Amino acid sequence: MTLQQLQYIIALDDSRHFVTAAQKCFVTQPTITLQVKKLEEVVGFQIFDRSTSPLTPTPMGVVVISKARNVLREVAQLKEFVNNEKDNLTGTFKVGIIPTVAPYIVPKFAGHFLEKYPDTILDIEEISSEAIIEAVKTNQIDIGILVTPLEESALREIPLYEEPFVYYGDKAGMQDTVSIADVENKKGLWLLNSGHCFRNQVLNICNATAETNNIRFRSGSIETIMHMVDAYGGFSLIPKLVCNGLTDDKIIPFKEPKPIREVSLVAHKGFVKEGLLDAIRKEILAVIPNAFKKNNKTMRMKWR
């Protein structure tokens, strides 16, 4: 039993003629005849008495048609509700963001967002990628901001920007730009704690398996890692946004192809607040440097 079949029997009840009903539904007469017959097979009795002219509903058909009208009315109301909700930004929404992104965008965009949308409360928390994914899937948070792709079938990814990595460390023997080959298997790599997706990205770029420093230091802060490089030498890779405003002589950009990370909004595929997603996307992109590759396209889910 489908909504389309219910629409067909209502059109047939209104017109009492297969050809007229088919024209009203913009389908062929054989199509509507076949679908009505399939629906009758599902319910186990005839909905229309075809021996009369014009045809008429059977007694049980009258009941089915009445309930079909109620179902389609509820569906129409549900669609109207969803369409209204898509652009409603009023309320409190929970946002999870990974620690290697949060310090560099939240202080910049959050104030502007709340000035524009004073009826919206963003409850923002720094948590790991794994925790964000689980919380979005179980509706404990509404939106995640993290590195993608995730390959999670239940989640929808809306790319925000691509952020380049830069080399941070000793420049001895280095040129004005570095290549990925220059850092592959290079000794003295400092890394974040296990559990940070950024750690895995750096390991993959550097083709390494673990820190190669004599000091084993675990930190969840990129800034702390930079201080360890300053104090003990070695190097790390850091996101470009960390460097904004810095003139440190330890920073070297990568030559093409540059290692990058894609930062995205992530929501459950059932999340309907399209207006909220679009508003957050625009406010974040407004504070991202123009040199970054940005997603400036509105990517709204189509609700039928």
Q: How far apart are CA 294 and CA 288, in angstroms?
A: 8
Helix axes 3-15, 18-25, angle to 10 degrees: 130
Angstrom distances, CA of residue 277 to CA of 53, 89, 103, 253, 271: 55, 10, 20, 32, 10
Does residue 303 belong to any structural domain of this protein?
A: no
Does residue 100 register a pLDDT over 80? Answer: yes
Q: Is residue 299 part of a domain?
A: no
pLDDT above 90 covers a percentage of the chain that reads 31
Q: Are 183 and 170 in contact (CB under 8 A)?
A: no
For 18-32, how does the pLDDT look when each residue is reduced to its tens digit (9 = 90+)?
A: 999 898 889 999 999
Say if residue 243 is in the same domain as residue 102: no
Please give the Cα distance from 90 to 120 (Å, whole number): 5
pLDDT digits (tens, 9 = 90+) for 142-152: 999 999 998 88
> pTM score > 0.85 for this model?
no
Q: Which amino acid is at 261?
A: R
Residue ending a domain, choose from 35, 57, 86: 86
Note whether residue 304 is domain-resident.
no
38 and 101 share one domain: no
Domain end residue (candidates: 35, 53, 86): 86
Q: Give burial (CB, 10 Å; 0-12/13-18/19+) of 114.
A: middle
Q: What pLDDT does 227 receive?
A: 86
Same domain, 48 and 22: yes
pLDDT interval class at 173 (50, 70, 90): confident
Q: Are residues 283 and 146 in the same domain?
A: yes
Task: Report if residue 179 sits inside a domain.
Answer: yes
What is the C-alpha to C-alpha distance for residues 147 and 163, in angstroms, rounded to an integer?
Answer: 10
Instruction: Flag whether 301 is in a domain.
Output: no
Burial of 301 (0-12, 13-18, 19+ CB in 10 A): middle
Helix or strand run (H / E) with residue 235: strand 235-239
Indicate whether 112 and 234 sit together in one domain.
no
Domain identity same for 157 and 169? no
Query: How many structural domains are present in the chain?
Result: 3
Same domain, 285 and 147: yes
Asked if the structure places residue 287 within a domain, the reply is yes
| Residue 25 falls inside a structural domain | yes
CB distance 97 to 124 below 8 Å: yes
Domain boundary among 86, 119, 140: 86
- Count of CA atoms in the C-beta half-sphere (13 A) of 251: 16
CATH number, position 212 = 3.40.190.10
Is the same domain home to 147 and 180? no
Does residue 143 fall inside a structural domain?
A: yes
User: Which domain, by its residues, includes 30?
Assistant: 3-86
249 with 265, same domain: the answer is: no
Average pLDDT, the chain: 84
Under 8 Å between Cβ of 8 and 30: no
Lowest mean pLDDT among 56-60, 110-114, 202-206: 202-206
